[in-house]
Every structure is written in C-alpha cells, then in structure tokens.
Amino acid sequence: MGLFFDVLSAVNNPNQQASVEGLSSMTNAVQQFAGKNGLDGSATQSLISAVGGALRPALQQQATSVGGTSQLAEMISQFAGSNPLGGVLGQASGGNFSMSALQSMIPAEMQQQLINGISQKTGINAGMVQSMLPSVLPIVMNFFNMGAPTPGSRGENPLLSAFLDGDRDGDTDLGDVMKFAGRFLNAPH
C-alpha cells in the first residue's frame, strides 16, 4: 500500500501532476481496457501487477543507462505528453502505443523477457500479452507521470522513484495501487 500512499501524497501536492481527476481517468482506462479484452477485475489486477513487476527491472536498467531516475522520468514525461491525461483513454481502448515507443523505453532484448514474465505470472499466453502491451503500457506510463512536477515547478518524481526503489515487499504492486484507487474513488459517502 506504500505506493498508493505516494499517489495520495502526489494528489495533495500542487507541485505534482497527480489529481483526483487524473486518478479517476486512470481507473476508467483500466476498466475500459479490461472490458475490451474480456478480463474480470481479478485478471486485470493480476495483469497490471505482473506488468509492474516485469517493468521494474527493465526501467531500473534503463534509468542506469540513461543517466538516472530523473532522465528516465523525463522520457516517461515525453511519452505521456505535456498533459498527463492526454490520450490515456484513447490509448487504452485503441492501443496507440507504438512498438518504437516501447523500444525507446525498454531495450529490445528485454521485451521478450518482459512478455514471457507477464505470461508466466498471469497464465495469459505470450501472444495475447504482446497484443495487450500497447494498451497497458500507456496506462502505466501515465500513472508514473502523475508524480512528475507540474509545468513551471522543479523536483523529482517520487512515484517513479518509489516504484524503482521497491524492495519487493508488495508495497509497489501496481495492481494493488489500481485496486486501492478504485476503492478510494468509489468510497461510500
């Protein structure tokens, strides 16, 4: 739950791009993705968790090779665009994430490992995982970008840093973050 608390902190920080509206758009994108692919809530959470688990080492390696977390955050920000909500719903439903964007974020030699790891953890065949990645990755990258500084402000991206520094104790499980976000947004009044 640690990463979810980082999300709430980012939502409450006017110098970060996160907002309740952004969080709501993210959960809507996940729901649209699940509906489009015939996944129930449990399978979707498992898939998002597996994507996060498989992405962590790839992004850690990328951060090392590009000059640090701040450089990686800049790459993610460029991918996400200047508007953190821009295109997330369209990407989730239409899969506008190009393979060239994937290759710029994750080295080609790690892509098949990523796909196979996700497939093993979820039981979804590798071909299906590969076809889903163009829809899932924009959601995840836009999630990370929620921790980015707002235009005109400076600072690190604590969401990305917390995710990359995860010690595998479950505190950085993206599936759990999405589940808690849904509960947070749909809390009884």
Please state, in angstroms and rounded to a whole number, the distance separating the CA atoms of residues 7 and 20. 10
Please state, in angstroms and rounded to a whole number, the distance separating the CA atoms of residues 73 and 141. 10
Phi, psi angle pair for 16, to nearest 5°: -120, 155
Map residue 16 onto helix, strand or coil: strand
Q: Region 175-187: what's the mean pLDDT?
A: 86
Enter the tokens of residue 172. Answer: 């950085």
Candidates 60, 54, 189, 56; CA nearest to 118 is 54
Dihedral angle computed from the Cα positions of residues 30, 93, 164 and 98, in that order, rounded to the nearest 10 degrees: 170
Candidates 147, 134, 125, 146; CA nearest to 105 is 134
Who wins on pLDDT, 119 or 61? 119
Summary mean pLDDT of the chain: 82
In this predicted structure, the answer to whether residue 111 has a pLDDT above a threshold of 90 is no
Candidates 172, 183, 187, 184; CA nearest to 48 is 172
Four-residue CA torsion sign, 158, 164, 166, 170: positive
What are the boundaries of each domain within the chain? 2-182
Map residue 170 onto helix, strand or coil: coil
Q: How confident is the model at residue 12 (pLDDT cuts 50, 70, 90)?
A: very high
Q: Region 46-74: what's the mean pLDDT?
A: 85
Helices (H), 95-173: 99-105, 108-122, 126-145, 158-164
In this predicted structure, the answer to whether residue 119 has a pLDDT above a threshold of 80 is yes
**Tens-digit pLDDT profile for residues 77-109:** 877 754 444 444 444 444 455 566 666 667 777
